[in-house]
């Protein structure tokens, strides 16, 4: 746990974990702790963000992130509007900034944005006065995913510092991998990646990240195995011979996990391609914390919304019953 206070002020926006200090990251996780309990109540609603208007602007498909933000906003009593590219004037050629400026003209407070272009969230944040939260931009960043992953690892081990985390799969095309490598390193974990060399960014070792070519070695080494899918929609060439071949060489199977430490856990951000990067008996097995990740996503997003709205971390417990 960190000492919380003025240092935790996040500024106007949350674009990427590279903009946050270790203390700010751990402070967000601490702020999420009291918010976990709200989702366990019979009536899952507190008036913390009453009067705040939040627009969820999703220009790329999403299940977990979009619904998780929407639950977080509704549980904090914010007024929310959901906009996707299909059915909006984006289909008629309206730009991202014009869409956002029109929303601003309706007097909103925050925008949660997912976009297919790297840098879209920063571009928007620099042009509108509302708070902007990045819900995933191209191959750049997915900061709230990394925060919920950090919270899930801390829940299991008590601390992130000193833990060995290996991300296995398509690192090259993954904004989740980029945000998580940043978050894990800032929080003092040992970090490794594993996958076909074609899917590992050149020079990643310079960040202090170890590279494993064999998933068996990675499994023996790590406390946390973070499995990623192959992002076929972002690939423009033959990065792997076939999905079957990928599963044969890098697939996370219960047989391969036999050599893991007893307390090793498996994470996946979703969506999963069962039978490709992960087998069903692992995804649904005793080492999997994939559904606790989803549960923690709501609490982490509540914490981020609360802090960006000016809430004080040390008052999060008592603020559950009133405005920030």
- Closest Cα to residue 277, out of 199, 183, 208? 199
Q: Are 160 and 139 in contact (CB under 8 A)?
A: no
Identity of the residue, 31 or 134, whose beta carbon is nearer to ligand CP in the bound complex: 134
**Is 142 annotated as catalytic?**
yes
Using CB under 6 A, which of 16, 169, 251, 269 touches ligand CP? 269
**Is 255 annotated as catalytic?**
no
Stretch that binds ligand CP, among 152-160, 189-197, 250-258, 269-277 (CB under 6 A): 269-277
Using CB under 6 A, which of 64, 74, 156, 312 touches ligand CP? 64
Both tokens assigned to 245 = 């071949």
Identity of the residue, 70 or 223, whose beta carbon is nearer to ligand CP in the bound complex: 70
- Give me the helix-helix angle, 290-308 and 64-75, nearest 10°: 50
Using CB under 6 A, which of 52, 56, 65, 296 touches ligand CP? 65
**Is 65 annotated as catalytic?**
yes
- Closest Cα to residue 194, out of 160, 164, 175, 219? 219
Q: Is 259 in the site for ligand CP (CB under 6 A)?
A: no
Q: Are 261 and 116 in contact (CB under 8 A)?
A: no
User: How many other CB atoms are found less than 10 A from the CB of residue 242?
Assistant: 9
Q: Interface mask (CB under 6 A) for ligand CP, residues 155-194, using x and -?
A: ----------------------------------------
Using CB under 6 A, which of 39, 53, 62, 210 touches ligand CP? 62
- Closest Cα to residue 85, out of 70, 66, 103, 99? 99
**Virtual torsion, Cα 296, 158, 190, 284, nearest 10 deg:** -50
Size of the site for ligand CP (CB under 6 A): 10
Identity of the residue, 48 or 171, whose beta carbon is nearer to ligand CP in the bound complex: 171
User: How many other CB atoms are found less than 10 A from the CB of residue 77?
Assistant: 15
Q: Are 321 and 47 in contact (CB under 8 A)?
A: yes
31-to-2, 52, 96, 185, 307 alpha-carbon distances in Å: 10, 19, 31, 21, 8
Which of 6, 42, 92, 107 is the catalytic position?
Answer: 92
To ligand CP, the closest distance from the beta carbon of 294 in angstroms equals 9
Strand partners, 131: 110
Identity of the residue, 31 or 65, whose beta carbon is nearer to ligand CP in the bound complex: 65
Identity of the residue, 65 or 134, whose beta carbon is nearer to ligand CP in the bound complex: 65
To ligand CP, the closest distance from the beta carbon of 145 in angstroms equals 5
Catalytic residue IDs:
64-65, 92, 114, 142
Q: Which residues are at the interface with ligand CP (CB under 6 A)?
A: 62-65, 136, 142, 145, 269-271
């Amino acid at each position: 746990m960190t000492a919380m206070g003025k240092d935790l002020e996040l500024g106007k926006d949350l674009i990427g974990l590279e903009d946050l200090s270790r203390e700010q990251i751990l402070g967000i996780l601490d702020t999420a702790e009291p918010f976990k309990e709200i989702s366990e109540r019979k009536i899952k609603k507190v008036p913390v963000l009453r009067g705040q208007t939040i627009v969820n602007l999703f220009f790329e498909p999403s299940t977990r992130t979009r619904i998780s933000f929407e639950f977080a906003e509704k549980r904090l009593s914010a007024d929310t509007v959901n906009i996707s590219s299909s059915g909006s004037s984006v289909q008629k050629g309206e730009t991202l900034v014009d869409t956002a400026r029109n929303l601003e003209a309706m007097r909103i407070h925050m925008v949660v944005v997912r976009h297919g272009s790297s840098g879209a969230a920063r571009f928007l944040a620099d042009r509108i006065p509302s708070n902007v939260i990045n819900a995933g931009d191209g191959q750049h960043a997915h900061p709230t995913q990394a925060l919920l992953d950090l919270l899930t690892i801390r829940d299991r081990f008590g601390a992130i510092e000193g833990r060995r985390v290996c991300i296995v799969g398509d690192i090259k095309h993954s904004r989740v991998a980029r945000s998580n490598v940043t978050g894990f390193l800032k929080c003092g974990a040992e970090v490794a990646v594993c996958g076909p060399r074609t899917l590992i960014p050149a020079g990643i070792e310079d960040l202090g990240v170890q590279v494993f070519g064999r998933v068996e070695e990675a499994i023996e080494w790590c406390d946390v195995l973070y499995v990623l899918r192959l992002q076929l929609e972002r690939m423009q060439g033959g990065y792997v011979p076939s999905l079957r071949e990928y599963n044969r060489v890098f697939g996370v199977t219960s047989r391969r996990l036999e050599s893991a430490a007893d307390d090793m856990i498996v994470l996946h951000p979703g969506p999963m391609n069962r039978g490709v990067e992960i087998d069903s008996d692992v995804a649904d097995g005793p080492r999997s914390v994939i559904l606790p990740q989803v549960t923690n996503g709501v609490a982490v997003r509540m914490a981020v919304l609360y802090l960006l709205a000016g809430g004080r971390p040390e008052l999060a417990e008592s603020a559950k019953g009133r405005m920030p």
